[in-house]
Amino acid sequence: MPEIPLPQTTDAGKTAPAPAETPRPGAAPAGFGQAPDFGKQNPPPPGALPPNPPRYLQPNDSAWSVFGRIVAARARQLFDRAGQRITQRTLRIGVSARIFHPEPGARGLRGKTLQYLEESIAHWVMSRDVIVFMIPTVGHQGMLHPSNIRLRDYAKHLDGLLLQGGADVSPQTYAEAAARPEWPGDRVRDMYELELLHEFVESGKPVLGVCRGCQLINVAFGGTLYQDIATDVPTAGVHVSEHYDQHRHAVTFPEGSTLSSMFPGRREAIVNSIHHQAVKTLGRDLTVEAVSAGDGLIEAVRYRRAPFVLGVQWHPEFHRAGGPELLDCTPLLDTFLRSARETRF
């Protein structure tokens, strides 16, 4: 049984009240378990209530107006989160396919149509933590596996387009006849890439053309090409040799050009040269961005009526392996990708 405290006696002989019992740890508070007194007033302590109504309430507010504001705030929050997901999503860049056409009478893969991309161009774009997709041709007659997917679907879902190098642009594409039988170009690839280019331009997505891609941009807007530089411009320098990506020459950037702003402080640079064709007549709404320092041939073009449609005649993807004297084209890639990020909506 618990001990009962006894009354204590003071010096004057008077009995003092027993001290209050200290509650044991874990014991119920005083009055616990008693019936509640519903008639007793229990006002909040002073200062517990704000002197004015909350700021989110307005004088004429109703329950519906408050509910509407809550719904609107929630919607803004959801849209903000969706916008963050879009802007922070890894960029998706499409690369046009090179095409290997079947060889007559060949068996195995040589008897099939192959579509591929060169490894260096994919790795160059991926070096900035970008996902690369090769875009296949679509919609040809006689397909074994018909599909409703079209090139405009790729333009809708990808953030930018890179036109890689490869076979000559066919003279038929710019209304000329081939000067020699060995220069027929690739008419099938021309039609595929021209449609791809226009779909991305109409979608407001950026386009970067490399070598053949630069020539195709020029032809797409009504320009023409030198079918063979050595034949058509005998005074021109050598722009292709058996050294392939090791062959190089200097280019200059016109004052006020986009490339001159990308590479501040530089008016001249060394690039590789792997092409026997070149821009002849400039297409409509195109601006010259670079010329060959030795002979003045056009080496880069830009379409003025779009946020970013730029073609360079050299191969920037080969520059890092080519040596420190070659132009570091990282600013070109970064500008292209920044435009892709800005126009992805």
pLDDT band at 16 (very low <50, low <70, confident <90, very high): low
For residue 187, what are the contacts with CB-CB under 8 A and spacing of at least 6? Answer: 170, 172, 173
131-158 mean pLDDT? 86
Domains of the chain: 80-342 (3.40.50.880)
- What is the pLDDT at residue 14? 56
Instruction: Evaluate the CA torsion angle 257, 258, 264, 270 in order and state its sign.
Output: negative
As a whole number of angstroms, the distance between CA 345 and CA 341 comes to 8
- Whether 87 shows a pLDDT value over 70: the answer reads no
Report the residue count for the chain. 345
pTM, two decimals, is 0.75
As a whole number of angstroms, the distance between CA 283 and CA 270 comes to 25
94-109 confidence digits (pLDDT tens): 999 999 998 888 888 8
149-158 confidence digits (pLDDT tens): 999 999 999 9
- What is the pLDDT at residue 40? 76
Residues labelled catalytic = 211, 315, 317
Q: Which of 1-5, 100-104, 190-194, 281-285 has the lowest mean pLDDT?
A: 1-5
